[in-house]
Amino acid sequence: MIQIRTAAASDGEQIYQLHLRAFGGRKEESELVERIRVSDGYVPELSLVAVEEETGEVVGHALISKAAVYDLDQPTEVLVLAPIGVDPAYQRQGIGGHLIREGLSRAEALGFKLVLLIGHPSYYPRFGFEPAGLHGLVLMQFVVPDEVFMVRELAPGELVRMRDERKGTVGELKYPQTFFA
């Protein structure tokens, strides 16, 4: 059985190794998790692990942390989902989906209003994510195809509210410096 729970400090090494496996041996995502964990944007309840109950092995991890959408110089706090990884031996069993749904539900309960991400356009729409560009949001820090930049409302009406406040101009998602260090 797989259990989803809040990541503990003692899970750090297992989470690092898990992302190495999930991302085919590259270190970027593992190191990103370590940097976010010691940053201002870290929300402990939104770092979730999927654990094999019998062995205690971490087989999945999703991290949702703080970023901001800027209208000129005015920031609005939002969340970003990155990274998420599931051990290749455990993929396509619904674990990624459980981590995402639990993360979104916790984020909503904590009062956050929007979650953005860069990800597979065939995967995230099932969790309610839509192309962010449709809502007047742009991403300048990374050059990516439009359809991989997605947003999910946690508070109904938030996207319209933000757009009205900007008087129809674009809002730019800026990932914190933590993502680039």
Ligand X SMILES: CC(C)(COP(=O)(O)OP(=O)(O)OC[C@H]1O[C@@H](n2cnc3c(N)ncnc32)[C@H](O)[C@@H]1OP(=O)(O)O)[C@@H](O)C(=O)NCCC(=O)NCCS
Q: Which of 91, 102, 130, 135 binds ligand X (CB under 6 A)?
A: 91
80 binding ligand X? (CB under 6 A): no
Q: Which of 144, 145, 150, 141 is nearest to 114 (CA)?
A: 150
Asked if 67 and 79 touch (Cβ cutoff 8 Å), the reply is yes
Site for ligand X in 12-41 (CB under 6 A): 22-23
Q: Give the residue at shortest CB distance from ligand X.
A: 96
Q: Which of 77, 94, 142, 144 binds ligand X (CB under 6 A)?
A: 94
Site for ligand X in 108-127 (CB under 6 A): 119-120, 122-123
Please choose, out of 1-9, 51-59, 71-79, 94-102, the segment that lies near ligand X by the rule CB under 6 A: 94-102
Q: How far is CA 135 from CA 144, 146, 160, in A?
A: 17, 12, 8
Q: Which of 181, 113, 105 is nearest to 152 (CA)?
A: 113
Asked if 58 and 11 touch (Cβ cutoff 8 Å), the reply is yes
**Is the CB of 44 or the CB of 94 nearer to ligand X?**
94
Distance CA 146, CA 124 (A): 14
**Is the CB of 23 or the CB of 42 nearer to ligand X?**
23
85 binding ligand X? (CB under 6 A): yes
**Residue 151 phi/psi, 5° resolution?**
-135, 150
**Is the CB of 72 or the CB of 143 nearer to ligand X?**
143
92 binding ligand X? (CB under 6 A): yes
Cα angle 126, 136, 115 (rounded to 5 degrees) comes to 40
Binding site for ligand X (CB under 6 A): 22-23, 84-86, 91-97, 119-120, 122-123
